[in-house]
Amino acid sequence: MDSTRASAIRLLTSSRSMILPGPGRALKPAPMWRSYIVSFAGARPRALIGPRRPRCNSKSGRYQMLTRRQMIATASTFAGYAVAVDKVLAQAIKTDTEGIVAGDQVVKIGTYEMPVYEARPAAGKDTPIVLVISEIWGVHEYIRDCTRRFAKAGYYAVAPELFKREGGVAQIANVQDILKIVLAQKREQTLSDLKAAVDWAKTRPNVKAAGVGVTGWCWGGSTVYQVAATNHDMKGAVAWYGPPARPYQGASGPVTGFDLARDIHCPFLGLYGETDQNPKPEDARRMEELLKQSNKHVEVVIYPGAGHGFHADYRPSYNAAAAQDAWKRCTDFFAKNLRA
């Protein structure tokens, strides 16, 4: 563990318990996580933010006491989120729209309008659906580009902006403020919004409603476990370095990927890095063992020399060899399980 990450976790876990968003307590200041997360997270890459517009404040959340073990898991997860995001590299892949249709749409959920980014082949029918879940940065250009890549591979891909209910993160430069919004996410609401995105996708032109898969990176990778365990429309799930120990705050308490492994019955592919500190390789192997107790279609790949964010081509953490192999495995996996 590097010294910056270790220092952040020591600061965040210096008492037996701390207050983080979740049901059970009224909103009040939580100086530890507000003050110290930013000390190791750094600033969000400016090139991902776009032109400045008036920032929306996050809605008032609620708080719940976490145990020391849960704090360590949460702090380590956020340390992983913030690794090497100081600049956008010239190596970032740019996927054009030739042969595909891509753009912003809105999914209506009652009176709420959830922004989504969709991409699909310009021609063809019975196109399988891929639900794309972002990291904590929301649906920024990297996620949009990955969505277009899926369309180029013959899938209808949709990426919902899950943080919009709390004001959104698109125009926020301060990681501390972004994490407040991420921590305010309620498990049941997030899963409901993701289901709404899938249900909406099934109404789009030329899709195969029976062929739905889910994928996500980092925070989105952790969310993949939650979706795969609860939405039985899924015919395949691909998690990219999602920490299975990351607790999601639900109505009945925190729920991790480890907790849900026995409920994931669709084919599963996990893509992890050998030098990643969260999830560590032993976490990936533990998740694999738990999954295989009730699922015969599980594959976990740990890439030698690759760290957290190895697929994020806009970051110094990018590992081209691992990223290219993992992308091929991902699209081959979806071809096998969503087109059948």
The whole-number pLDDT of residue 264 equals 99
Q: Is residue 73 part of a domain?
A: yes
- Please identify, among 49, 81, 113, the residue that sits at the C-terminal boundary of a domain: 81
Do 54 and 108 fall within a single domain? Answer: no
Do 333 and 268 fall within a single domain? Answer: yes
Kindly report each contact of residues 65-68 with a partner whose C-beta sits within 8 Å and lies 24 or more positions away, as own/partner. Answer: 65/17, 65/18, 65/19, 65/24, 65/25, 66/17, 66/18, 66/20, 66/22, 66/247, 66/254, 67/17, 68/13, 68/16, 68/17
Q: Is 308 a catalytic residue?
A: yes
Number of domains, the chain: 2
Per-residue model confidence as pLDDT tens digits over 19-49: 333 323 233 333 323 322 322 233 344 344 3
Distance in angstroms (rounded) separating the CA atoms of residues 30 and 219: 22
The whole-number pLDDT of residue 53 equals 35
DSSP state of 164: G
pTM score: 0.79
- Active-site position among 145, 146, 218, 259: 218
The whole-number pLDDT of residue 84 equals 38
- Active-site position among 140, 146, 308, 311: 308
The whole-number pLDDT of residue 193 equals 99
- Active-site position among 193, 233, 259, 276: 276
Do 140 and 194 fall within a single domain? Answer: yes
Do 29 and 154 fall within a single domain? Answer: no
Residues in the chain predicted with pLDDT less than 70, given as ranges, are 1-88, 90
Do 72 and 218 fall within a single domain? Answer: no
The whole-number pLDDT of residue 87 equals 53
Q: Is 266 a catalytic residue?
A: no
Do 52 and 130 fall within a single domain? Answer: no
Do 173 and 288 fall within a single domain? Answer: yes
Enter the tokens of residue 15.
């008492």
Do 183 and 116 fall within a single domain? Answer: yes
Do 132 and 242 fall within a single domain? Answer: yes
Quote the domain boundaries for residue 58.
3-81
What is the CATH classification number for the domain harbouring 303?
Answer: 3.40.50.1820
The whole-number pLDDT of residue 134 equals 98
Do 318 and 262 fall within a single domain? Answer: yes
Q: Is residue 88 part of a domain?
A: no
The whole-number pLDDT of residue 14 equals 35
The whole-number pLDDT of residue 164 equals 96
Distance in angstroms (rounded) separating the CA atoms of residues 284 and 80: 15
The whole-number pLDDT of residue 160 equals 99
